[in-house]
Amino acid sequence: MQRVYGAQNEMCLATQQLSKQLLAYEKQHFALGKGDEEVISTLHYFSKVVDELNILHSELAKQLADTMILPIIQFREKDLTEVSTLKDLFGLASNEHDVSMAKYSRLPKRKENEKLKAEVAKEVANARRKQHLSSLQYYCALNALQYRKRVAMMEPMLGYTRGQINFFKKGSEMFSKRMDSFLSSVSDMVQSIQGELDAEAEKMRISQQDLIAVNESVYTPDSDVTSPVINRNLIQKAGYLNLRNKTGLVTTTWERLYFFTQGGNLMCQPRGAVAGGLIQDLDNCSVMAVDCEDRRYCFQITTPTGKAGITLQAESKKEYEEWICAINNISRQIYLTDNPEAAAIKLNQTALQAVTPITSLGKKHEVQHPSQTVKNTENDKIIPSESAGIQDSTQLIAPGTPIQFDIVLPAMEFLDQNRGGRRANPFGESEDSSKDEEEDSLLQQMFVVRFLGSMAVQSDETCEVIYEAMRQVLAARAIHNIFRMTESHLMVTSKNLRLIDPQTQVTRASFELTTVTQFAAHQENRRLIGFVIHLSESLGEESMSAYVFESNTEGEKICYAMSLGKEIIEAQKDPEALAQLMKSVPLTNDGKFMLLNNMSEEDGTMHEGGEESEA
């Protein structure tokens, strides 16, 4: 368009110069000057015609400047500059909001200073209000730009066409009838677009006023901390989270980024990026609530192999619990079903109904679980024990039986209570009493486990009591929103089972292997393991308790270790049977301990410290 306008101005100058040159022709001296009078008079006439054409070209150039060039210049210097300025203001408001959110995220979880918290929360609210206002203005300008850019392209062409038609109308009327209707329709369209722009601007103005008039609590983070409305049926989630990054051996940084789920993947999109990138595959992962650097609402995603993944922090309790529930639903691959929403609702309803005892045998699925096998030492054959049949859940576990979710105090709390002098442990934990037993034991195998819960049971005749205990423990954790559990090392020997603190190597609990009457792994989730302890009380009464754990490896390996330990106990009564058993199991290089497998645990990496994780 600029070249057209420049060409038109050049045409005006050229026609003006041509008219002057035609008039100046008579001043030229030629060798043959005869007949120049007619030529000169003709040229004078042409000069008048060119002058008239020059007037028309000048009018056309002026019309092009007003109707074609001016709208483009106004669109470029006014509308685009306004959008750019509002974008910069929105960026500044976003940065201020990030700074205030970073200050708010650093508030300590314990012994909060209410005055400081109120000041920081007010600062966050003001920053959010400012960001919201700037974003609304920016979005309004962007919406208006969608219309103005169309008008900015239509008006110049309309002005150019009208100018040309007016220019040619004075020489010929042939264009008049053909172009008038078209120009009229274009004019009507421009007026219609302008009307839409006015209506959209009014609508955005009203919306802006409504949003500005909302309550201050809408902008305050974690305003509904006492009773947040949590949706536990989510199969996709998006929002801002703080990502923990290690910058050194002991130093970390937190970065606030936008996260969203896509299928079975957790995606992250930094500010300014046009698309998100994969940060974690959520299939078969587990999510755990963790205490991290005295920050609130932190959770960690663990890979299917048990390796710790990324650590994230939500800004409120509602976001924190919804992210954990959403990741749990996605990790179970609910999104692959035909109706993921219904599957998620059904899953949570099943969890709510799981702690209700089943009193009718017809309500229970008729699924025969494989019974525990016991080796016959006389003929050295594996004979399955007779199943006692599927019992009613009330016969296995009494209704209303309490569940214990923590077996002992965490390691750091234990150390704080026993600093200085000789250690006096009120829980009966010992550090050195089991070393002599380990040296005399023919079997020693270590597994990384996490305690889920324990409860009293009424029967230890079948493995059904373990499966029922698993169902009630997991359901109770889901209903009461209990995500934490303490990690321990389970030492299986030919004499006992010991739970060892990974950080202090202190024995948290010890069970004689002879008191273990049932043990089994979950039929679907192979990482769940449980066993029943049968003890005789001092007054002649007997007590039975089921313990449920989650391991980093398959539960069948732990069951095999327990079974082998029981076989060793039986074989020790007969030296020949013990010698035969020793030949059937490979030994270590020193010939002292039995090896359950030649390879190390696939997922049995010893984690430093007894970190708490999620069920």
Q: Which of 257-266, 424-433, 587-596 has the lowest mean pLDDT?
A: 424-433
pTM: 0.40
Question: What would the mean pLDDT of 458-462 be, rounded to a whole number?
Answer: 87
Question: What would the mean pLDDT of 91-109 be, rounded to a whole number?
Answer: 87
Fold adopted by 238-344: PH-domain like (2.30.29)
CA pair distance 305, 303, nearest whole angstrom: 5
Q: Which of 328-332, 496-500, 567-571 has the lowest mean pLDDT?
A: 567-571
CATH class name, domain 444-584 = mainly beta
Question: Residue 51 pLDDT more than 50?
Answer: yes
Quote the radius of gyration of the chain (alpha carbons, Å).
Answer: 41
Question: What would the mean pLDDT of 153-179 be, rounded to a whole number?
Answer: 69
Top-confidence residue, 442 or 85: 85
**Domain boundary assignment for the chain:** 1-175, 238-344, 444-584
Check the CA dihedral 155-156-162-163 and report its sign: positive
The band of 352, judged by pLDDT with boundaries at 50, 70 and 90, is low
Inter-residue contact 236 to 261 (CB < 8 Å)? yes
Highest mean pLDDT: which range of 59-63, 194-198, 536-540: 194-198
- The set of residues, in sequence order, having a beta carbon less than 8 Å from that of 510 and lying 6+ positions away, is 434, 496, 497, 498, 499
pLDDT at 228: 79
Which tokens in the block code for residue 207? Answer: 């919306």
pLDDT at 542: 83
Which tokens in the block code for residue 541? Answer: 């009464």
CA pair distance 10, 25, nearest whole angstrom: 22
Question: What would the mean pLDDT of 460-479 be, rounded to a whole number?
Answer: 86
pLDDT at 255: 92
Question: What would the mean pLDDT of 564-571 be, rounded to a whole number?
Answer: 83
Question: What would the mean pLDDT of 541-549 be, rounded to a whole number?
Answer: 89
The band of 390, judged by pLDDT with boundaries at 50, 70 and 90, is very low
Is 542 buried (19+), middle (13-18) or exposed (0-12) by CB count in 10 A?
exposed
Half-sphere exposure (Cβ direction) of 3: Cα atoms closer than 13 Å: 0
Looking at residue 217, the DSSP 8-state letter turns out to be G
pLDDT at 95: 92
Q: What tens digit of pLDDT does each residue of 285-309 get?
A: 888 888 887 788 899 898 887 777 8
The band of 503, judged by pLDDT with boundaries at 50, 70 and 90, is confident
DSSP secondary structure of 263-319: TTEEEEE-TT-SS-EEEEE-TT-EEEE--BTTBSSEEEEE-TTS-EEEEEE-SSHHH
3-state SS of 601-614 is CCCCCCCCCCCEEC
Question: Residue 75 pLDDT more than 70?
Answer: yes
Specify whether domain 1-175 bears CATH 1.10.3720.10. no
pLDDT at 311: 92
Helix (H) or strand (E) holding 551: strand 542-551
Top-confidence residue, 455 or 68: 455
The CA–CA distances, whole Å, from 239 to 169, 258, 272, 312, 495 equal 62, 6, 16, 12, 52
> 588 by DSSP, 3-state: which?
coil
- The set of residues, in sequence order, having a beta carbon less than 8 Å from that of 485 and lying 6+ positions away, is 405, 406, 450, 451, 452, 550, 612, 613, 614, 615
pLDDT at 36: 62
Top-confidence residue, 375 or 262: 262
The band of 173, judged by pLDDT with boundaries at 50, 70 and 90, is low
Q: Which of 126-135, 194-203, 289-298, 390-399 has the lowest mean pLDDT?
A: 390-399
Strands 277-281, 298-302: pairing is: unpaired
Question: What would the mean pLDDT of 66-84 be, rounded to a whole number?
Answer: 81
CA pair distance 106, 256, nearest whole angstrom: 12
CA pair distance 371, 384, nearest whole angstrom: 7
pLDDT at 424: 41
Closest CA to 497 of 486, 484, 482, 508: 508
Q: Residue ranges of the alpha helices (H) in 35-107?
A: 36-64, 70-74, 80-105
Top-confidence residue, 588 or 71: 71
The band of 598, judged by pLDDT with boundaries at 50, 70 and 90, is very low
CA pair distance 385, 590, nearest whole angstrom: 36
Could you give phi then psi for residue 555, rounded to 5 degrees?
-65, -25
Inter-residue contact 237 to 319 (CB < 8 Å)? no
Question: What would the mean pLDDT of 274-293 be, rounded to a whole number?
Answer: 85
Question: What would the mean pLDDT of 179-192 be, rounded to a whole number?
Answer: 68
Question: Residue 246 pLDDT more than 90?
Answer: no
Could you give the percent of the chain with pLDDT greater than 90? 12
- The set of residues, in sequence order, having a beta carbon less than 8 Å from that of 444 and lying 6+ positions away, is 438, 491, 492, 493, 593, 594
Computed over every residue of the chain, the mean pLDDT equals 75
Say whether 238-344 and 1-175 share the same fold. Answer: no
CA pair distance 249, 247, nearest whole angstrom: 7
Question: What would the mean pLDDT of 423-438 be, rounded to a whole number?
Answer: 47
Could you give phi then psi for residue 378, rounded to 5 degrees?
-75, -50
Looking at residue 69, the DSSP 8-state letter turns out to be I
CA pair distance 81, 64, nearest whole angstrom: 24
Closest CA to 544 of 452, 454, 460: 460
Strands 265-269, 277-281: pairing is: antiparallel
Q: Which of 18-22, 165-169, 493-497, 552-556 has the lowest mean pLDDT?
A: 165-169
Question: Residue 466 pLDDT more than 60?
Answer: yes
Question: Residue 179 pLDDT more than 60?
Answer: no
Q: Which of 148-152, 199-203, 300-304, 352-356 has the lowest mean pLDDT?
A: 352-356
Total Cβ atoms within 10 A of residue 174: 10
Is 275 buried (19+), middle (13-18) or exposed (0-12) by CB count in 10 A?
exposed
Top-confidence residue, 442 or 236: 236
